[in-house]
Structure formats: C-alpha cells, structure tokens
Structure 1
Amino acid sequence: MPNTPAPTASALAPRYPVVVIGGGQAGLSTSHYLQAQGIDHVVFEKRRSFDAWRLDRWDTFCLVTPNWQCRLPDFPYAGPDPKGFMVKDEIVAYLEAFARKVRPPIHEGVGVTRLSRHPSGAFQVETTMGNCLADHVVVATGGYDLPIVPPCAHSLPAGIRQVHSVDYRNPDQLPPGGVLVVGSGQSGVQIMEDLHLAGRQVHLAVGSAPRSPRVYRGREATEWLFDLGFYQLTVDRHPLGDEARHKTNHYMTGRDGGHEIDLRRFALQGVKLYGTLDDIQGGTVHFRPDLGRNLDEADEVYCAIRRDIDKYIAAHGIQAPEEPPFEKVWAPEADPLTLDLAAQGITSIVWAIGFRPDYHWIDLPTFDGRGHPSFRRGVSPVEGLYFLGLPWLNTWGSGRFLGVAEDAQHLVEVIAQRQAARAPAPAPRLAETA
C-alpha cells in the first residue's frame, strides 16, 4: 500500500494485557487512558496514524462541526478560531500534536490479519509482523473500510471516468465535461459544491440524507443543540434505538466559514437534481421517482431542528433575533427518471454513497445478522472484546472528536475493573513468630 511505513523494528511481546487495533484518534485516545491506568498495551496501525485524514480526503475538505467540538483526551482545540472549521492540513496537525502528547506504544505499518480465540482462552492476534496473545482487544478501526460502488456501475460506458469520494481530490482530476455525483450525504453535497464553484455542470442524485441549519436565530445551530442536550442523548434513549447507528448524518458544510446547504438553491443556480439512483443501462442512468419526497423530508428535519431551538428559546426566555419562516425556493415540476450521459455531456461520475466496515478478519461470534458488531457502549458480548470510534456507539459524538474521549475512558475503566477482578488475591501474611 502506498505511504505505508515500514513496521517498527522492535519485536512483539508474546502476550499483552491489551491490544488496540487502529492508530487513529480512537485508538490513541484508548492508549492515553490505558497509560493513565498503568496498563501495558500495544497499538497496531496498518498505515500511518491519521493517513485516513491525510490521504483520503479532497483538497478543500474541512470539518462540518466547529473547532470547539474537538475534544480529544486532555487535548481540546486551543487555536484562535474555536467557532471556525479546521481544513484538512489543520486537522492533521491537531492530530499529530495529540500523538506527540500521547506517545503511544504503536507499531505503524502493521496490519492485523486475524483475531480469534486461542486454546488458552486469550485472544490470538495475527499480524503482518508476527503473532501475539492478548487478554483484551479494542477494535478502533472505524467503519469506513470499503468504498461502496453499486453493481450497476459495471454497465457504464468505458469512456465514463468513475471516482469514489475517497479518491476525489479536486475538479481538475476529472476530464472536461459534466459530472454526475451520486449521493447527497456529507461528502456528496460538499463535492457537488466543490465542482459547482469550479464552474462544472453538476448533476446530483439525491438520497434520503437529512439536512441541518448552520446558523439560526443569531447562533450556530450546533451550539443550540449542545445546550438542548442533543449531544448527550445516548443511543439507548434515542427514539430509533440501535437503528440510529445506520442513519445518514445531516448535511451542511464548514467551507468558507460554514454555511447550510439547501439543494433547492443549488438547483436555481444550475445544478441538476434527480432522485435516488435505481439502475444503469448502458449510457442511461435511471432514478427512482423520489426527488420531491427526498427534498421535502430533508427540509422537514431542517425545520424540526429550528422548531426545537424555538421551543428552547421560548422556555428559557432567551433574547434571540427572529427568523423568517422557511420557504421552498424551488421544487421539481416532476421527478426526472432518466439521464442520458452522452446527451448531457457527462464524462465522469463521483460515487459518494458511503462505505462499509470490513470485519472479515475477526473470527469471533460478535456480529448481528447484518454483519455489524454487537456491543453495549462498545463492550462486546465476547468478553474482553471492545469496539470504539463508531457512530452512535453511545452518543452522536461517539464517531467524532467530540465524544471519542468519553467512550475511550469508559472502555478503559471496564478493562481496568475486569483486570482487578481477575487478579489473584494477595497471599495472607504469616503471623510473626516471637
């Protein structure tokens, strides 16, 4: 793999109390708390730490949440713009500074190829550097392993350039001509805007992702939502329960100081909108008749957030400027069902329909019927196995800089308690003889 460092030279110990798999912000947060507890451990990272941020983002990528929400363990954002949005290089610099503070016992360039039970009862950890045993294993690899491309992509004409969002960098890497962006989650709408601002003709297949206001009634919506307790809501109290983990995040952007994204306004500016991708037959793309519904449902979530903020302001007697009611500035006359790529001059497609995790290397009974890991606040039913850094592991912030520290601290406390419970009782003192 390009940019993969050579494995650290030091040999592996035969057994570790804790093995952490993944050297990103989740894995290093775990290492921070393990060191604080005095628990010996090792971290395996198959690439370099933070290469997902360094190498797998487009050039204009920035956070969609404000900098004040960057709260890694004992390392909150301390820069000059807490209400701003760090761009890619600033994010990497923040994370690298965190790594220098933590100084984890990490082996970079070492991938874990299999995790299973050893006959002794410990975990068998097989890596590209060798094997070891572990009493506890924390899987902190995240959920963005395998880019999703629909099977019908194989039907596209050979001349159409296909790029997944993980490989998109800037408009200049795409051939001249129109671009179809498939997916309207965070990545899709931001790449759409990037292309649109560069003067490209953009076509966007709109899915079911909800949207959020950026600033409302004189204040960042994320600040209002923090005060409302939204970020403290745990998954076991969420109306959707575990299904919340599989829902798409609200789209907005931190670009150019942050702003909300209303796809209807982009339609007025010339972006062509379609419903959910349904099929591809040769040079014709087919869509479901759901564009109007998808736009309406995204707007309803947007308006519901505004109503919640309005209620909070009224209940607490807060003085805040009024806002005009939401109005639709554009609506499709009919849902377009087909798109002829050649006729519209489309030469490339950007797939922005997400990722799926890759847990094929975990040979343990910890997955549900859909292949997702089972856990309660990261603690697997397989004793000694833990997951960290996933969306809604406990709260909305669990997969983000905001909540990963709290989750990591909780898991390390569980590990420490289990270690203490297994420790042999001290031998009784013999009475001293006269």
Structure 2
Amino acid sequence: MSSTTPTLHRATVAVVGGGQAGLSASWFLVRDGVDHVVLETGTAGHEWADTRWDNFTLVTPNWHCRLPGYEYDGPDPDGFMTRDEVVAWLSGYAPTFGPPLREHTRVTALTERDGGGFRLEATGPDGPEVWEADHVVVATGGYHVPIVPSWAPALNASITQLHSADYKSPGQLPAGEVLVVGSGQSGAQIAEDLHLAGRRVHLALGDAPRVARFHRGRDSMTWLAEMGLYDTGVAQYPGGLAAREKTNHYVTGRDGGRDIDLRQFAAEGMRLYGLLDSGAGTQLSFLPSLRQALDSADEVYRSICRDIDRHIDAQGIDAPPATPYVPVWEPAEDPTSLDLAAAGISTVVWAIGYRPDYRWVGAGVFDGSGRPTHTRGVTSLPGLYFLGLPWLHTWGSGRYLGIAADAEHVAGAITGRTGATIESAADLARRRSPGSGARLADVALAG
C-alpha cells in the first residue's frame, strides 16, 4: 500500500487531544465500555513540559489536582507542585485505566459525514489516517496561537522577542534588562522569576486582578472552593457568559506560596508601566493607566478578602483575624514612553495570551471570534463536543479541580448516562475542613 494512501479506522467516539481533558473524557468512556480512541499530537500531557518555564509552580493548592479516578495523594496537599512534579503526576494517570491512546497523531481536518457522524483526517506515525466516528470530543484546550501585537515586527531587530510559551529561564535571555508585557498569571510570574534572579525588569500592566495567597489562616483558593465559586455555572455570574473573557487573578505558588505584590516589586527596583499601546524601532508608548491598574487589582484583592470574611462570619468559623493590605508603593508618575535602547532593554517577553485556532474543525459551531458556541461543552451540532476550555461551565473548568465534572457531563451526553458521581469542589473543600459549611448565597461572587 502506498504511504500516501490513508489508513481507514473507525471508532464510536474520537477524542482529539490527550491532555488532562481528553484523558478525563476517556476515563468515563472506558468506565462505560464505549468504543473510542484518543488522538494526541505529541505525547499525553506534553503541554505541561513544553510550555511552562523551569521555575513554574501551580497557583492552586495540590489538593485541587484531581482527575476522574485519580487525585493528588502526596505529602503536601496545601503546597504547590512544580512543573516537573505536575508532569510526573499527570504521567501516572493513563496507566491507571489504559486509555486507547494514539500518540504522535495530529488531526488536521474534521468534517461532517453524509448521513451523520464525522470524518477526521490525521497524520500518524506511519503516515496519513482517516477516522470515522459517530461522536467527536475536541479536547485541545483554548490556548493555541500565542498573541503578539501586529506592530511587533516593527521593533528594532536588535531586540530579542519571545512569547511566554517559549520562556524557560532568565539564563536563556541575552544580557540586559527585560520588558515583560502583560500582568496576568504568566506575565506576573515570569516577571517574578526574572526579578528573583536579579534581572532588572520592566513590566507593562494590563487589567489583571490579584488575589491574596493566604487570608485568615487558609489559602484563599481553599476558601473560595468551600464557598462554592468553583462549582458555580458561568450563566450565574454577573454578566453571564462575559465572565469567560475575564483575566485570571495573579498570585504565585513559588516557595510555598505568597502574594504577588507589584508595588513591592516596584519598591525593590522593578519599573512599572500602564498598558502598552504601540511601538516602533526602540520607542514604545503606553497609556497612562498604571495607577488605575494597580488600584483596581488591589480593590479586587480586598473584595475577595471581604467575601471570605462574610463567609467566615456566616458560618461561625473560628479563624484568625484579618490583616488588611497596606500599599507599600505609589507611582510618582504614570510613564507614557520608553526608549528600549536608552533603558538597556535587550528582550521583550510577550505575555498577553493566546487566541483559539479551530480552522481544522469544519463545522458551523463558532462565534465571530472563532470560539466554539456550546452549553457546557455540548454544541448545537449533534455528536460534537468541546472539553477543557476555560470557563466551559464554571471557574473550575479548564483546571484540575473542574475537569472531571465537565468530562462526566460530556460523556453522559454521549452515552445517555445521567447522574453525577464527581464530588463538588465545595464538598471536597468542606471535607478537608470538618464542621465548616457554606451556601453560595451567603457571599458575593468575587472578581
């Protein structure tokens, strides 16, 4: 047979993507005896090793790490696994249930078949393949193409530019000062990584909020889980589906976990700016939004603390008193320009996110921005599902704490099996804190 002749395969369900979302879907399909295949471009979970920097740590406590039939059971449930520890933990998942996983198989096209079902074109280890399936679960996540400004090529060629997905360590960068653009989770943590390594850092802030690492004796993420925020459907949040566009709060799990306080970094020598607006050559311009960005992030920080306080009071929980946050630095000015050469900046790290790329999916289930339209992963096209997206259904979606529940829902839509078996994040948190209960109505939705 010619190597260019596709090998034809058939499965009842094809799961595209072998990360934590795709493997979670497979766990339920294996449990229910459903014929299926998991098609993975690289190796299972490779994104954790390939797109995280050397000193990466989780920003949610280790006890949040759970997949169907598999939970973190290490010695430090309230700690934060490093990148390598996450890779090792995730690599232990597939052997526990034996998913029908085909690695090094890239799906390049998905189309509807006449009479129902789908056709997937792929390139596997031995050449081209075609898969026919009645159902397809797209579990490739929502972060596909790194975003850089359209004018980035206009910067002087002497300036090294890289995206946060390609950042590994301070030693990878040429000598000189570094501009990090973006203050979401990746940008703030990369700025921290460079700052702790002794590099002079310049940070252009966006509108990302922040959160306290610990408040009144417990990790804030543990409080919020107990309060029910990780289980609340996106439609119940103020603004509804618009919550999907929110930037995650910046915080760090490094060295046992702590706040990321950009004001403290500034007091220690980091240069802060507002939103980066444009640039050419070595000249950059910023909006005068620095003070507003810092104040807004701090107000979210305080509002979450107040929500936790109300929860503690409502439940009669014995907790240490609160320690109010007091700003340690205020900007003397709101800089609107920067000469990269004059400042000695050799590198720009873009940490302004990703855009989805589903051009290979030939189905009319996308909105004007290229994002899939769905209700908890179930699209309007019978047999087509999405899994592992941020805010697929809850704040926990796309994270280890919420993937299992979403996967069970999508698998149930395929099999017709109803009834949840996955413990809610709130119940899991309460079980870790005996005697503490909560009702979501007792607290405001933070963020």
Q: TM-score normalised to the size of structure 1?
A: 0.92
Residue in 2 that maps onto 1:90: 85
Which 10-residue stretch deviates more, 115-124 or 274-283? 115-124
Letter in 2 for 1:57: R
* Cα offset, 1:13, TM superposition: 5.5
Residue in 2 that maps onto 1:248: 247
**Cα distance in structure 2, aligned partners of 1:39 and 1:408:** 14
Residue in 2 that maps onto 1:423: none
Residue in 2 that maps onto 1:226: 225
Residue in 1 that maps onto 2:366: 367
Secondary structure, counterpart of 1:29 in structure 2? helix
Secondary structure, counterpart of 2:151 in structure 1? helix
Secondary structure, counterpart of 2:238 in structure 1? coil
Residue in 1 that maps onto 2:54: 59
Q: Which has the larger radius of gyration?
A: 1
Letter in 2 for 1:233: T
* Cα offset, 1:240, TM superposition: 2.3
Residue in 2 that maps onto 1:311: 310
In the alignment, structure 1 residue 414 sits paired with structure 2 residue 409? no
Q: What RMSD over aligned residues (CA atoms) do the two structures have, in Å?
A: 1.4
Q: Following superposition of structure 1 onto structure 2, how do residues 32-431 of structure 1 map, counting pairs within 5 Å?
A: 32-128=27-123, 129-417=128-416
Secondary structure, counterpart of 2:401 in structure 1? coil
Deviations 1:247-300 (A, max 9, x none): 110110100000111111111000000001100021111111111111111111
Letter in 2 for 1:32: W
Contact 1:183 1:189 in 2 (8 A): yes
**Cα distance in structure 2, aligned partners of 1:408 and 1:32:** 9
Secondary structure, counterpart of 2:343 in structure 1? coil
In the alignment, structure 1 residue 26 sits paired with structure 2 residue 21? yes
**Cα distance in structure 2, aligned partners of 1:69 and 1:321:** 23
Contact 2:158 2:346 in 1 (8 A): yes
* Cα offset, 1:126, TM superposition: 0.9
Which 10-residue stretch deviates more, 271-280 or 95-104? 95-104
**Cα distance in structure 2, aligned partners of 1:140 and 1:63:** 21
**Cα distance in structure 1, aligned partners of 2:77 and 2:7:** 41
Secondary structure, counterpart of 2:400 in structure 1? coil
Secondary structure, counterpart of 1:266 in structure 2? helix
* Cα offset, 1:124, TM superposition: 1.2
Contact 1:28 1:102 in 2 (8 A): no
Which 10-residue stretch deviates more, 143-152 or 322-331? 322-331
Secondary structure, counterpart of 1:180 in structure 2? strand
Contact 1:245 1:392 in 2 (8 A): yes
**Cα distance in structure 1, aligned partners of 2:51 and 2:332:** 38
Deviations 1:134-179 (A, max 9, x none): 1000000001111111111111111111111111111111111100
Figure out how many residues of one structure are paired with residues of the other and give that number.
Answer: 409
Secondary structure, counterpart of 2:39 in structure 1? strand
Q: TM-score normalised to the size of structure 2?
A: 0.90
Deviations 1:169-202 (A, max 9, x none): 1111111110000000111011101101111100
- Identify unmatched segments of 5+ residues in structure 1: 1-10, 419-434
- Identify unmatched segments of 5+ residues in structure 2: 1-5, 418-447
* Cα offset, 1:12, TM superposition: 6.0
* Cα offset, 1:99, TM superposition: 1.4
Contact 2:11 2:134 in 1 (8 A): yes
Contact 2:356 2:370 in 1 (8 A): no
**Cα distance in structure 1, aligned partners of 2:18 and 2:131:** 18
**Cα distance in structure 1, aligned partners of 2:110 and 2:390:** 23
Deviations 1:381-416 (A, max 9, x none): 111100000111111111011110111111111100
* Cα offset, 1:338, TM superposition: 0.5
* Cα offset, 1:54, TM superposition: 1.2
**Cα distance in structure 1, aligned partners of 2:207 and 2:330:** 16
Deviations 1:85-108 (A, max 9, x none): 010111011111001113211111
Contact 2:58 2:252 in 1 (8 A): yes
